[in-house]
Amino acid sequence: MRSSAAGLRAMEMSFLGNTLDRQSTRRSESSYLDELLNKPDTQVILSTDKTLVFPAGEVFPVGHDLNSAKALGADPAEMVFLGLRPENGQALFATTLPHSDEELADRSDIQIEDLRNLALRNALCEQDLGALAQARALIHWHRTHSHCSRCGEKTQMAEAGYRRDCPSCGAPHFPRTDPCVIMLITDGDRALLGRPARLPEGVYTTLAGFMEPGETIEQAVRRETLEESGIIVGDVRLISNQPWPFPANLMLGCVGIATSRDIEIEDDELEDCKWCDRAEVLQMTDGTHPEGHRIPPSISIAYELIIGWLEEKT
């Protein structure tokens, strides 16, 4: 649990608890990294293109030892250094496996888990979920940026996995984090909630969208809200932020004040959008909504924005 920006309530969002010492000033020291990688207590987080791969067992170790990771096909040359656990100095690395989930499905020595589901089930502590979020975002970047965007040559890992270099044209490439605005738009005692078709049936959430080049956060909130709902937004405040490793986003949680009221859905991002008063949102949160509508789970910043607004007057 973490305090909100306003200090009024505790936040339950996932992926905030990464406490690893990233040792960023030592990422170019190959001998230091080799020594860490070969320590007997070092763990290697493994992933396919979709999910995480853990050793079999009821209690999840975060990763595998080096020999187990190599036996599953992990390449030591492609292992990203995540950092050291501050409590004991244990090193964590991460890499991708050259296998699909289907190819690993029948193995009894591993278990395949989706990071989002682990967060929903509270299967791991905050620190481990945060480390896994870091790992998944970096692994996704390495999987999707193995070749130079300038000349097409296969790139090589550098700086412990925080850069890829092109041996042909010399271009350096760096991991990307995509900022997204996610906003609760209000009109007095009403909140604007929408329903993208990709969400589970009945879930209504805050609007959201990617920031574009040259935009401020406030401008992105106003543009995305207008595009998705036709609502014009005036004042905007940044409330909180959350790493969201699906695949590598930073969610910028905002509240905005509507200056128009009429909803017009003009694109295909939302299948429904509506103004909800506090009584209806309370029904969504306590499971009594007559149509079965509900808000997103507590792992998300959308939940925090909605509950924070709801608790202002309750």
CATH number of 178-311: 3.90.79.10
Separation between Cα atoms, residue 146 and residue 159, nearest integer Å: 15
Question: Residue 126: which residues within 8 A CB-CB, separation 6 or more?
Answer: 14, 16, 17
Can you give the pLDDT at residue 11? 58
pLDDT at 313: 63
pLDDT at 7: 40
Residue 144: CB partners within 8 Å, gap ≥ 6?
none
- pLDDT tens-digit profile, the chain (314 residues): 333 433 444 557 999 999 999 999 999 999 999 999 999 999 999 999 889 999 998 777 899 999 999 999 999 999 999 999 999 999 999 999 999 999 998 899 999 999 999 999 999 999 999 999 999 999 999 999 999 999 999 999 999 999 999 999 999 999 999 999 999 999 999 999 999 999 999 999 999 999 999 999 999 999 999 999 999 999 999 999 999 999 999 999 999 999 999 999 977 889 999 999 999 999 999 999 999 999 999 999 999 999 999 998 64
Report pTM.
0.92
pLDDT at residue number 60: 78
CA distance linking residue 65 with residue 43, whole number of Å: 5
Domain ranges of the chain: 2-144, 149-175, 178-311
> How much is the pLDDT for 61?
85
For residue 180, the tally of other CB atoms under 10 A from its CB is 19
Predicted pLDDT of residue 9 = 44
Whole-number pLDDT of residue 59: 72
